[in-house]
Amino acid sequence: MAHQTQLLMVMIAYLSLLIIWGIIQGRKVKNGCDYAIAGRKLPGPIAALSERATGESSWALLGLPGFAYATGLSGIWTALGCVAGIITAWAAISHRLRDEAEVYEVNTFIEYIAKRHHASAASIRTVASITIVFFFFFYVGAQFLGGGKTLHSMFNLDPRLGMLLTALIIVPYTVYGGFRSVVYTDAVQAVVMITALVAGPVVGIIAASGNPDIFAQSIPAALSKAGPGYSSLTGTVSGFAAGVVIMGGLSWFFGYLGGQPQLCMRFMAIENRDQAMKGCRIGIIWTILAYIGALSIGWLGICFFGPESLQDPELVMPEVMLRIFPPAIASILITGAIAAMISTADSLLILSSTELSENLVKPYIHSRGNRKVQELSVCRWITAILAVIALALAYISPSKLIYTIVGYVWAGIGSTFSVVILLTLFWKRYHGRAAISTIVSGMLFTIIWISTGMDQKITARVMTFLVAGIVAIAATYLLDEKRNPAG
C-alpha cells in the first residue's frame, strides 16, 4: 500500500510538471509551421530523444521486457530487428529526409511525398492522408485504452475513468502547442525511460547475485534453470519453424525504414545537417542501451520470480523495480512506463491532426485576413476534435477491434511507407502513380494477409514489404507518370 501511495504522488507531480512544460513550449508556437513541425528548427538531441520516446512507446518498458520474460533468449531476434532498423534509419535516412523537408518546405510527412511526386500530388494527399488518419485514430484510441488499463492495474481505478484521465493529461498541451509541445515533452520522457532501462538492470544484477531466496542468482543461471525453451535462441523449435521465429523477430527491421510517419517527422524537423548528425549519435546510443536494458529486465524477472509466475508478463518491469528499489525510487522509474505511453499518444494525435489539416482541410479553405492566425486556429480545432473522436472510439469499440486494427499499422503503414520513402529518396525514376499503387497495394495486401490468418505462418511485416516493393517497381515501369504539375 505504501508503494502505491508514493507511486501516485510521484505520478501526480511528474505529470503536472509535464503539462506545464508542454504549455510553456506551446507559448512559442506562432503559426501553422511551428504547430506542425516546430518551424523545422529542432536541435538534433531533442529530436533524437523525442523520436526514441515515440518509437519505443510502452514497448521498451512493458512489451519487450514481458516478451523476454515469457520467451527467454529467443526475444533477442526481435530486439536485433528493431535495433538494426533504428540504426539504419538514423544513419541513412534521417539527414536525407531533413534536407528534403527544407528544400520542399513541407510541414507533414504526406506533404513531402506529394511535393516530391507533384504530378500526382492531389491523389497522393487524399489516399495517403485518409489511410494514415483512419488507422491512427484507432492507434490513439489504443493508447487511451492502455492508459486506462495501466492505471487500473496500479491503483484499481475504473479503466474507463483511467482512459479519461489519460486523455486529460495529453490533450491540453497537445492542442495548445502542437508538434513543438509534443517533442519537448517527449524529450523529458525519453530521459526518464532510459534511466529506468539502464539503472534497473545494473541494480537488479547486483541484487540477484548471492541472493538465496530467489529463483536464480544470475541471468544465465535463470535461463538455464527455466528450461530449454528459455535458454535456446529459437525456443523449443528447430528447422523451418526456427527460421520462422528468427525471421519474425528480424522482420521488425522493415517498419523503421521511413515507414513510420510519427518518427520521420522528427527527422524532418531537425534544424540543419550538423544537428542531424548529433541526433544520429544520440538516437543510436539510446537505442542500444534501451534494448539491452529491456531484455535484461525481462530476464531478471525470471531470476526473481521464476518462469510463468507472473500472470501478466508485461508487468515484469514494474514488479522488478519494486523488488530491487525502495518504493520512492521505484515509483520514479515506473513512471517511465506511463511516460512512454503518453509520448506515443500525443505524437500520434498531433500527426493525425496535422496530416488532416495540411493535406485535406486547408487546401479547401480560402484564407482571409491573417493567414497565420487562421492556420493555427484550424490546426488546434482539428487536434481537439480528433482527440474527442479517438477517446470515443476507445470507449465504444471492443478492445479486440482496436488492437486488431493497431496490429495492421506496423505492416500496413510501416512496411508500405518504408518502400515509398526508400524509393522516393534513392530512385529518381520512381513517380507519383507508382507511389499511389504502392500505398493501395500494401494496405490491401496487409488486410487480406492478416485477416486470412496467413500472418501466423509468415509475418505480414516481411510479406507486405516484399509485395509493396514488387508493385512499386512494376508500377514505375508500367505506368506513365502524369505530366500535369498541378496533379
pLDDT tens per residue across span 270-283? 999 999 999 999 99
pLDDT tens digits, 383-403: 999 999 888 888 887 777 766
Residue 369 CA to residue 365 CA, distance in Å, equals: 12
Give the pLDDT confidence score for residue 253 in this predicted structure.
93
Cell of 413: 503503414
Give the pLDDT confidence score for residue 135 in this predicted structure.
83
Neighbours of 453 (CB within 10 A): 8
Nearest by Cα to 219 from 291, 301, 289: 301
Give the pLDDT confidence score for residue 487 in this predicted structure.
38
Identify the CATH homologous superfamily for domain 2-398: Sodium/glucose cotransporter (1.20.1730.10)
Give the pLDDT confidence score for residue 365 in this predicted structure.
63
pLDDT tens digits, 62-102: 889 999 999 999 999 999 999 999 999 999 999 999 999 99
Cβ–Cβ < 8 Å for 25, 177: yes
Task: Report the Cα–Cα distance between both ends of the chain, in Å, rounded.
Answer: 62
| Percent helix / strand / coil, the chain, rounded to 5 | 85, 0, 15
Neighbours of 102 (CB within 10 A): 15
Give the pLDDT confidence score for residue 59 in this predicted structure.
81
Give the pLDDT confidence score for residue 2 in this predicted structure.
63
Q: What string of H, E and C letters represents the secondary structure of 417-458?
A: HHHHHHHHHHCCCCCHHHHHHHHHHHHHHHHHHHHCCHHHCC
Cβ–Cβ < 8 Å for 457, 144: no
Residue 454 CA to residue 37 CA, distance in Å, equals: 38
Residue 107 CA to residue 449 CA, distance in Å, equals: 33
Give the pLDDT confidence score for residue 143 in this predicted structure.
79
Collapse the DSSP code of 211 into the 3-class scheme (helix H, G, I; strand E, B; otherwise coil) and give the result: coil
Task: Give the chain's residues under pLDDT 70.
Answer: 1-3, 153, 336, 339, 364-374, 402-403, 482-487
Cell of 133: 488518419
Cell of 259: 515507414
Q: Which residues pair with 270 in a beta bridge?
A: 42
Q: Where are the domains of the chain?
A: 2-398
Residue 57 CA to residue 258 CA, distance in Å, equals: 17
DSSP string computed for 284-317: HHHHHHHHHHHHHHHHHHHHHH-TT-SSSGGGHH
Residue 328 CA to residue 6 CA, distance in Å, equals: 6
Neighbours of 221 (CB within 10 A): 14
Nearest by Cα to 266 from 23, 45, 25, 32: 45
Give the pLDDT confidence score for residue 359 in this predicted structure.
83
